[in-house]
């Protein structure tokens, strides 16, 4: 089979359609009766929020490409054809989401005495209480707006819930208005818990939208409300900043953030009972065609349903709690630097406590022997204990440098706030590299020990985000290996300074060496297979889209290399194609934890090489981001990493989806004990 054939369109799945397939797998968790009920609610909400982001980013980009023209991708589909396929897929996906809500989730919650009461189910006492709530709590913060020549159509915030009201009659000033708008207040919860005095059970809720619907006529006294309909606009959320033209990236991004909520509309969700006249009126205003309109058979903006999770204290309806382990030689009062000096340490989150990193920074901030701390921050959170430790270190006289990536999508505002806090405390803040996002996860501590300076490093697959550390699976390496630490130091110098490409001895780095080395290592496995030697590749990542890496995997498969890929989300590689990819399997794991670790294994002729990395196998990670990939040099740790993050996922069946050559994902059944791989790891590691 020729190289040209390996580039043929049928061998590559469309990236956008693969992303929608991932959202369907998330939604399936909401439909799975083995998932605790309130966790099923969360999965439904997650599927909706991820679909929101899909429209904000991917669909918005495709609409721009369709307007201005672009070449087809590796799958052969241009922007216009892809948008057509997205419409067909999303129409069905939205229908499935609302079917899941109406036919699966609501009845199950009702059976568990957790009820969302529709207006038709309100008792007389409940109606009186809700009417009082409307008058005293809700109406005072509402600002209904009649639409007439003196009140033009207002700017509608991205993803805000609004009500389009059809009116008849004249107001007190004798003005006639056909239409009015009411925006649901963002300052109030979307779920109202009924008090015991009127509730039929301990967990009776009413949607805020239902209350507005019930009493909206009181906002327009003297006029007749003909219809009241929910709608929601999703807008393009890409920030367009020419980094080479601006003098202050933070200030430029702050300006763009103010306009993000009012950028071009890409989708409108409407209540299923909205009149055609109203749909036409709104779609004309937002310049949206029919293929951007989605009817919702229930509350618009289902992801606000997530508010019910913390309001219901029912442990039996949630995942069991667990305590992350603290490895024996890391338990206090251990000196972290002594522990790392004794051996390299592998952390596997959330099974291993993220508190280890917090403690390392705490000790570094208070240790007079520590001279400098350098750290990359991609997604961090403004109130993170990490930030507190860095600020403490700076105030105690340590030289602290933080590389804060301002362009982390949807975290720009938080990262700007973090940057300001750090700079006010005396931390040297660097905002990365022009045209390249700094996505590497690195921490470097320089300590004086006797007459010499010694470095300690932490390299990770995940962000230094305290909250997500308990929700994502990630791996990190603590080491004082001089070669690795020197490489990390060089990368920090490269990011903060201006200079030529550097040569690293152990680390692989994007955008310089990582892609080339991956191609080289895949090629070596192929050559060994052709020579009759055992050859194996196992790789775990979030997404696989980069065409040259996919072609290299196809060639390795043809050579006889056994390739097992664990790809949580988007995968453009088509497995199981005869004479092309029949030696490649692709699995996706969706479960309690978001699979986020990137781990790569190459059998390497009996001398295995195992890596952890911040990078997925995507174009952006290989060529447009600063990424690192570090080898696990300790053979015992490498074997542990392979066992826990790769082998466990290949041996287990429950919760695993197998990608077929048709592009469908098929669940491959349950294990003998019915537990999925994440639950089994929880049992083993905590």
105-127, pLDDT tens digit by residue? 999 999 999 999 999 999 999 99
The mean pLDDT value for 427-453 works out to 92
C-alpha dist (Å) from residue 73 to 6, 12, 141, 571: 14, 9, 49, 14
674 has pLDDT over 70: no
The region of weakest confidence among 160-164, 179-183, 586-590, 667-671 is: 667-671
- Report the b/e string of 25-61 with b at 16+ CB within 10 A: bbbbbbbeeebbbbbbbbbbbbbbbbbbebbbbbbbb
Give the model's pLDDT for residue 175.
Answer: 65
The region of weakest confidence among 11-15, 374-378, 474-478, 497-501 is: 497-501
Q: Is 515 a catalytic residue?
A: no
| Residue bearing the bigger pLDDT, 407 or 284 | 284
Give the model's pLDDT for residue 246.
Answer: 40
Listed in sequence order, the residues at least 6 apart from 651 whose beta carbon sits closer than 8 Å to its beta carbon are none
Tokens of 631: 């080898």
Give the model's pLDDT for residue 262.
Answer: 65
Domains of the chain, each with CATH number or no CATH: 11-317 (3.30.1840.10), 328-503 (3.30.870.10), 509-685 (3.30.870.10)
Contact call for residues 62 and 82 (beta carbons, < 8 A) = yes
The mean pLDDT value for 409-416 works out to 75
Give the model's pLDDT for residue 435.
Answer: 83
221 has pLDDT over 80: yes
The region of weakest confidence among 40-54, 250-264, 593-607 is: 250-264
Contact call for residues 570 and 15 (beta carbons, < 8 A) = yes
The mean pLDDT value for 445-466 works out to 95
pLDDT digits 0-9 by tens, 474-504: 999 999 999 999 999 999 999 988 767 789 9
| Model confidence band, residue 241 (pLDDT cutoffs 50, 70, 90) | very low
pLDDT digits 0-9 by tens, 578-609: 999 999 999 999 999 999 999 999 999 999 99
255 has pLDDT over 70: no
Mean pLDDT of the chain: 90
159 has pLDDT over 80: yes
132 has pLDDT over 90: yes
Q: Please tell me the distance from the alpha carbon of residue 25 to that of residue 478, in angstroms, as a whole number.
A: 34
- Burial status of residue 535 (CB atoms within 10 A of its CB: 0-12, 13-18, 19 or more): buried
| Model confidence band, residue 628 (pLDDT cutoffs 50, 70, 90) | very high
- Active-site residue, selected from the candidate residues 439, 465, 515, 596: 439
| Model confidence band, residue 5 (pLDDT cutoffs 50, 70, 90) | low
Contact call for residues 421 and 387 (beta carbons, < 8 A) = yes
The region of weakest confidence among 4-18, 374-388, 446-460, 502-516 is: 4-18
Contact call for residues 439 and 405 (beta carbons, < 8 A) = yes
Above pLDDT 70, what percent of the chain?
A: 92
3 has pLDDT over 50: no
Neighbouring C-beta atoms of residue 182, cutoff 10 Å = 20
pLDDT digits 0-9 by tens, 329-365: 888 899 999 999 999 999 999 999 999 999 999 999 9
């Amino acid at each position: 089979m020729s190289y040209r054939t390996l580039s043929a369109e049928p061998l590559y799945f469309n990236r956008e359609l693969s992303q929608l397939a991932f959202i369907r797998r998330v939604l399936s968790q909401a439909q799975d009766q083995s998932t605790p009920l309130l966790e099923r609610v969360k999965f439904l909400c997650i599927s909706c929020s991820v679909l929101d982001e899909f429209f904000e980013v991917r669909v918005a980009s495709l609409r721009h490409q369709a307007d201005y023209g672009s070449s087809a991708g590796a799958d052969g589909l241009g922007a216009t054809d892809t948008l057509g396929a997205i419409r067909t897929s999303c129409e069905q996906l939205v229908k499935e989401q609302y079917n899941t809500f109406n036919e699966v989730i609501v009845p199950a919650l009702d059976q568990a005495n957790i009820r969302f009461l529709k207006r038709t189910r309100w008792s007389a006492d409940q109606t009186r209480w809700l009417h009082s709530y409307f008058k005293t709590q809700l109406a005072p913060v509402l600002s209904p707006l009649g639409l007439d020549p003196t009140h033009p159509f207002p700017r509608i915030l991205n993803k805000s819930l609004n009500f389009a009201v059809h009116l008849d009659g004249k107001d007190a000033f004798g003005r006639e208005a056909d239409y009015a708008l009411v925006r649901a207040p963002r300052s109030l919860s979307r779920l109202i818990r009924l008090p015991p005095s009127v509730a039929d059970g301990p967990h009776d809720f009413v949607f805020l939208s239902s209350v507005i619907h019930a009493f909206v006529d009181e906002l327009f006294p003297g006029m007749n409300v003909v219809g009241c309909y929910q709608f929601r606009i999703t807008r393009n959320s890409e920030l367009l900043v020419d980094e080479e033209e601006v003098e202050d990236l933070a200030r430029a991004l702050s300006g763009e953030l103010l306009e993000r909520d009012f950028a071009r509309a890409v989708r409108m969700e409407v209540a299923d009972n909205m009149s055609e006249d109203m749909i036409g009126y709104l779609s004309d205003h937002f310049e949206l065609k029919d293929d951007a309109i989605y009817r919702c058979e229930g509350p618009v903006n289902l992801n606000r349903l997530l508010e019910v999770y913390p309001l219901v204290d029912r442990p039996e309806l949630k995942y069991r709690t667990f305590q992350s382990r603290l490895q024996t030689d890391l338990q206090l009062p251990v000196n972290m630097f002594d522990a790392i000096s004794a051996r390299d340490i592998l952390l596997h989150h959330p099974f291993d406590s993220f508190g280890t990193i917090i403690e390392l920074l705490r000790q570094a901030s208070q240790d007079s022997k520590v001279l400098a701390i350098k750290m990359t921050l991609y997604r961090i959170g403004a109130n993170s204990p990490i930030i507190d430790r860095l600020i403490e270190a700076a105030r105690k006289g340590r030289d602290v440098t933080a590389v804060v990536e301002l362009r982390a999508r949807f975290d720009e505002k938080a990262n700007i706030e973090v940057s300001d806090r750090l700079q006010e405390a005396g931390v040297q803040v660097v905002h990365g590299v022009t045209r390249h996002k700094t996505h590497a996860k690195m921490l470097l501590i320089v300590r004086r020990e006797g007459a010499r300076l010694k470095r300690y490093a932490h390299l990770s697959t995940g962000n230094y985000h305290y909250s997500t550390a308990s929700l994502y699976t990630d791996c990190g390496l603590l080491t004082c290996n001089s070669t690795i630490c020197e490489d990390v130091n060089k990368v920090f110098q490269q990011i903060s300074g201006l200079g030529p490409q550097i040569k690293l001895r152990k680390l692989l780095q994007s955008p310089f060496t990582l892609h080339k080395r991956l191609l080289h290592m895949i090629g070596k496995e192929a050559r060994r297979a052709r020579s009759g030697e055992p050859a194996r590749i196992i790789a775990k990542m979030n997404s696989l889209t980069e065409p040259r890496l996919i072609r290299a995997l196809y060639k390795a498969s043809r050579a006889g290399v056994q390739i097992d890929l664990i790809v949580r989300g988007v995968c453009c590689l088509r497995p199981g194609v005869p004479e092309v990819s029949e030696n490649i399997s692709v699995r996706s794991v969706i479960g309690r934890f978001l699979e986020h670790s990137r781990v790569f294994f190459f059998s390497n002729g009996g001398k295995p090489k195992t890596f952890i990395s911040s990078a997925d196998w995507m174009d952006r990670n290989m060529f447009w981001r600063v990424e690192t990939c570090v080898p696990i040099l300790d053979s015992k740790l490498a074997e542990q990493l392979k066992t826990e993050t790769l082998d466990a996922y290949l041996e287990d069946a429950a919760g695993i989806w197998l990608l077929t050559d048709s592009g469908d994902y098929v669940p491959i059944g349950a294990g003998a004990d019915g537990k999925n791989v994440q639950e089994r790891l929880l049992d083993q590691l905590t």
